Structure 1
Amino acid sequence: MTTFVITIPGTFTTDKAAGAHAALERGLSSRHTRASESEGLELLTVNEDRTFSVRIEVDAEDRYEAELDAVEFLSTSLKDAGVPEGEAPLGPPAVTGIDSDA
């Protein structure tokens, strides 16, 4: 099993959605492990222009599975934070870190 750090960009399309970032950070906190904390990784970065990026740690067999899991987790976290699907469109996920036991 490999641990991937997946970065997903997005844009909040409304001020209300942009204001939900504290609730979103709480929802993402389960993926903020000791490894990412020790590396100083921020889970969520929100810019003044309402663009954002999320870094999520995922244990998966391969990159494809890791990206799918990260996008699904982020989509659920956005919904749980009260952000409707259309108010935070996501960009393509990218692998920005890999830690393999092998």
Structure 2
Amino acid sequence: MTLYVVTIPGTLLSGLTPEARTELVRALRGSDPRETELGAAEDLDLLTFYPDSSAFSLRLEVEAADTAAAEAQARDLATGALRKVGLSADAAPLGDPVITGIAGA
């Protein structure tokens, strides 16, 4: 198994309260790339919002056998966390996951 850092872009089409943002980060705890050597070295944030935009990126660490499994696992984690804070697929559509780092096993 290999540790991957996967970046998933998204767009918020409805608001996200500070409480929901905190809960989203909490729901993704354990997938934070800062917990990996690569993520710490690159100073990767779990959740990034872009100024003057409704766009965001999630960077998740997952352990998987290959890149396809890593991308699928990261998408599942992101989707589940967004749903947990009340954001449907229509309210927070996600783009395609991209492998942005391989940290090793």
Matches of 1:34 and 1:90, distance apart in 2: 23
Partner of residue 84, structure 1: 88
List aligned pairs for 1:13-24, cutoff 5 A: 13-15=13-15, 18-19=16-17, 20-24=20-24
Matches of 1:92 and 1:100, distance apart in 2: 22
State the 1:38 CA deviation: 2.4
Match for 2:62 among 58, 63, 68?
58
Matches of 1:80 and 1:29, distance apart in 2: 13
Change (3 A) 1:92 1:4: same
Scaled by the length of structure 1, the TM-score of the pair is 0.87
**Deviates further, 34-43 or 92-101:** 34-43
Matches of 1:26 and 1:37, distance apart in 2: 18
Structure 2 residue ranges without an equivalent (≥5):
none
Matches of 2:22 and 2:81, distance apart in 1: 11
Partner of residue 7, structure 1: 7
**Deviates further, 49-58 or 20-29:** 20-29
Runs of 4+ in 1 over 4 A off after TM superposition: none
Partner of residue 96, structure 1: 100
Change (3 A) 1:86 1:64: same
State the 1:37 CA deviation: 5.6
Bigger share in helix: 1
* Aligned residue type for 2:99: V
Aligned length: 99
Scaled by the length of structure 2, the TM-score of the pair is 0.85
**Taking every aligned residue pair, what percent have the same amino acid on both sides?**
36
* Aligned residue type for 2:48: T
